[in-house]
Amino acid sequence: MAAAAAEQQQFYLLLGNLLSPDNVVRKQAEVTEIAPPAPDSAPRPARRPFPRRRPLGLGRSAAAAQAGPGGRRPLSPRETYENIPGQSKITFLLQAIRNTTAAEEARQMAAVLLRRLLSSAFDEVYPALPPDVQTAIKSELLMIIQMETQSSMRKKICDIAAELARNLIVPQMLAMMVDLEEDEDWANADELEDDDFDSNAVAGESALDRMACGLGGKLVLPMIKEHIMQMLQNPDWKYRHAGLMALSAIGEGCHQQMEGILNEIVNFVLLFLQDPVIAALLQTMEDQGNQRVQAHAAAALINFTEDCPKSLLIPYLDNLVKHLHSIMVLKLQELIQKGTKLVLEQVVTSIASVADTAEEKFVPYYDLFMPSLKHIVENAVQKELRLLRGKTIECISLIGLAVGKEKFMQDASDVMQLLLKTQTDFSDMEDDDPQISYMISAWARMCKILGKEFQQYLPVVMGPLMKTASIKPEVALLDTQDMENMSDDDGWEFVNLGDQQSFGIKTAGLEEKSTACQMLCIEVMGDGCLNNEHFEELGGILKAKLEEHFKNQELRQVKRQDEDYDEQVEESLQDEDDNDVYILTKVSDILHSIFSSYKEKVLPWFEQLLPLIVNLICLHRPWPDRQWGLCIFDDVIEHCSPASFKYAEYFIRPMLQYTCDSSPEVRQAAAYGLGVMAQYGGDNYRPFCTEALPLLVRVIQSANSKTKENINATENCISAVGKIMKFKPDCVNVEEVLPHWLSWLPLHEDKEEAVQTFNYLCDLIESNHPIVLGPNNTNLPKIFSIIAEGEMHEAIKHEDPCAKRLANVVRQVQTSGGLWTECVAQLSPEQQAAVQALLNSA
């Protein structure tokens, strides 16, 4: 006991010396030694950043011992501290923290050092401690937190506990993910039971996902990477499965950090497939003995194809389609014979995803799928097949959109009759019928395919559509018992408000409501598709939605002032806000379609909504309100100019001000508005174009303008500058601005604005503009680089006339011998290949 007390006392002296700014005190501390090591102590492994670690105990360093009596090197306080074994460190630091009679600075230093130890050397120190010591440390920390009276010190101790918990929770979550059992009935089940989502494995995966999103990749990826790699090499399949699922779970939260090691991750994961991705997924989809595996493989294929660039998918398309067709035929037979549908549901969605990405390249395979898909829609009428039928309706409409009107017209009449038959039964459908959402989306696609020919179906479609857009969700305030009684009722979601009360909302129908709003975007029908009655009803719906939006926001603000307000309530309020914003986006979509179809003729009708739209862009409104309010006024300018200037007093100042807003989404909407102001606005807008230019340039030249979150706003600013020079050249000094504009090209994130800028670039080149071409065409290599980068980032659409113009620029230089050689020589091999691809396709 006496020896331990002496060691602790010497440790306090060491803490004091570590704190002391006095060089003399520090120098004296350099000869401090505490308790030589026990003779039988084993050496510890080396720890960076210090080259050597002391043996167990706090004694003489190996370097000093080797130097001998005449050449002894004294220990610094930092070296002395580092030489203390991990368990002893934790013990001494905890005792120092607990000792309220010690100097406050020493206790705080001990707290900082303990947290640092758990952060930087956790794997070296903590797992080696006996279980009873680990339990004692956790209990000790919790007890100190409760007993501590100084708030600053209590915060530091809480930080220690959080650090320890952070290190312990990851292995615990991974351990939960390993809690799996191989179950043949589960593998071949035809329904996804709710019990699947209550398992330890799913709970652990969900927790890992939330932690990665909450803490971010910088913190989480280093903590978990080694754990996952070890699990993936474990001979037990449960660990390998958990490791792969953990990689998937952290993907969203750690995506930025994982990008740098993506090749390493993908190559490692491929080992578990034993084949390239698509081939492996197709092979796995044919695992007839495990329906769940087949369904998951089909779902993975959907994830792979829906964001896959068309150019990457095409080489695999033939093999992909053959496999999907054979599996669809087989599963359709199983549906008829056994009634199983799970895999077929996923395969139908996979076919839709492939067609959506392949577009016109899917035409040769159209006749392979359409008869079977029509058969499913016509015959899958039982209640348990509603989801399959809805997904098949979606698949047919996406294939039709992909292959185009000419190919689809051979089946259009049959498909329309099938849809109309379902539509006539619309009023009999239950609120949670999954077919509703698929039906409404299918009508939108059919409208796009058929164009004016869709008008004959409007009388059937518009009634249910307006009804769906007008639905109000059911809400309820319930006690715990009532909530439990209703929890099995599909479509209800609950948020615990405390005091044995929960807020419930029936979400069934909300998705259909937003889809219905989207379906109302029928600009392809053009002027005249809506009559006065439709307009009157639509105006009432939109006005009610906007008024409801503002009312809901006010109610949320009131709830934030309530005494029961906490993080859980805020999370619920954020979810409500997200739902309202989603509806707001659809209101904007509807108005976009109205303005693009009816132009300035619709402005008198729009005035009933004007005060509400103006309210959206007020300075105190949340950024999504301002973003979508600006988008609506962007449409007013673009499609109703110069008549739009009548309303300029409401939006022109906010639009200029929001060009430099802190929210990139708001900046993007404002910049787009300034661009269409230059392009379509009349002479009244000229002074504002002049005023806008320096604001746009400021955003473009800001330090972080090209980061991922800012790039779309920046590219809209660059496009707006180009539009001002092109359409309002007398408002700016074009010769002064043009060299800067060229240096900002190409655009590659916002594909629509990229086309605008490339077209203007072609205008300037074709007119032999001296600033663009440079003296003796010295700027042509730079122009080639811009074109090549645009092609590499798929910003140049080969079917667009702009692609042919750019290709002609390149061909013209090709004929000039030395200039061509000079331009090509300054391109990288990838850029050269991109230029050649453009020439081949245009």
Q: What is the pLDDT of residues 397-456, one digit of tens each?
A: 999 999 988 898 888 888 888 877 776 555 666 766 777 778 777 877 887 788 777 777
Q: What is the pLDDT of residues 299-316, one digit of tens each?
A: 777 877 877 778 778 888
pLDDT, residue 44, reads: 33
User: Does 508 have pLDDT greater than 70?
Assistant: no
Residue 734 neighbours by CB under 8 Å, 6+ apart:
725
Under the banding of pLDDT at 50, 70 and 90, the label for residue 481 is: low
Q: Which residues pair with 524 in a beta bridge?
A: none
φ/ψ of residue 496, rounded to 5? -75, 125
Residue 617 neighbours by CB under 8 Å, 6+ apart:
625, 626, 629, 630, 633, 651, 654, 658
Q: What is the mean pLDDT of residues 798-815?
A: 89
**By the 8 A CB rule, do 526 and 498 touch?**
no
- Nearest to residue 253, comparing CAs of 286, 220, 290, 295? 220
Q: What is the mean pLDDT of residues 658-666?
A: 96
Strand arrangement of the beta sheet that strand 501-506 belongs to: 475-479, 501-506, 492-498
Q: What is the pLDDT of residues 684-736, one digit of tens each?
A: 999 999 999 999 999 999 999 999 899 999 999 999 999 999 999 999 999 99
Side-chain half-sphere exposure of 484, counting CA atoms within 13 A: 4
Under the banding of pLDDT at 50, 70 and 90, the label for residue 4 is: low
Q: Which residues pair with 50 in a beta bridge?
A: 47
The burial of 363, by beta-carbon neighbours within 10 Å (0-12 exposed, 13-18 middle, 19 or more buried), is given as middle
The burial of 271, by beta-carbon neighbours within 10 Å (0-12 exposed, 13-18 middle, 19 or more buried), is given as exposed
The burial of 84, by beta-carbon neighbours within 10 Å (0-12 exposed, 13-18 middle, 19 or more buried), is given as buried
The residue that leads in pLDDT, 25 or 349, is: 349
Residues of the chain with CATH 1.25.10.10: 217-463
Spell out the alpha helix ranges (H) of 310-365. 310-313, 317-338, 342-358
Query: Before 604, cis peptide (omega within 30)?
Result: no
The residue that leads in pLDDT, 597 or 675, is: 675
CA angle 481, 486, 489 (to 5 degrees): 165
Superfamily of the domain at 217-463: Leucine-rich Repeat Variant (1.25.10.10)
Tokens for 288, please give them.
């007839």
Q: What is the mean pLDDT of residues 70-87?
A: 64
Under the banding of pLDDT at 50, 70 and 90, the label for residue 815 is: confident
Q: What is the mean pLDDT of residues 286-306?
A: 75
Which of 344-358, 379-393, 660-674 has the highest average model confidence (pLDDT)? 660-674
Task: Write b or e for each residue in 818-835: b if 16 or more Cβ atoms lie within 10 A of its Cβ, otherwise e.
Answer: ebbebbbeebeeebeebb
pLDDT, residue 102, reads: 78
Under the banding of pLDDT at 50, 70 and 90, the label for residue 499 is: very low
Task: Name the strand (E) or helix (H) holding 477.
Answer: strand 475-479
- pTM value? 0.56
Which of 101-115, 286-300, 470-484, 583-597 has the weakest average pLDDT? 470-484
The residue that leads in pLDDT, 73 or 768, is: 768
- 623 alpha-carbon distance from chain centroid: 18
Q: What is the pLDDT of residues 92-131, one digit of tens each?
A: 888 888 888 777 887 888 888 888 888 778 877 888 888 8
Cα 365 to Cα 626: distance, rounded to the nearest angstrom = 45
- Nearest to residue 332, comparing CAs of 282, 301, 374? 374
Q: What is the mean pLDDT of residues 146-153?
A: 85
The burial of 400, by beta-carbon neighbours within 10 Å (0-12 exposed, 13-18 middle, 19 or more buried), is given as buried
**By the 8 A CB rule, do 554 and 588 touch?**
no
The residue that leads in pLDDT, 603 or 295, is: 603
Helix (H/G/I), strand (E/B), else coil: 497? strand
Q: C-alpha distances in angstroms, 571 versus 182, 203, 657?
A: 36, 19, 31
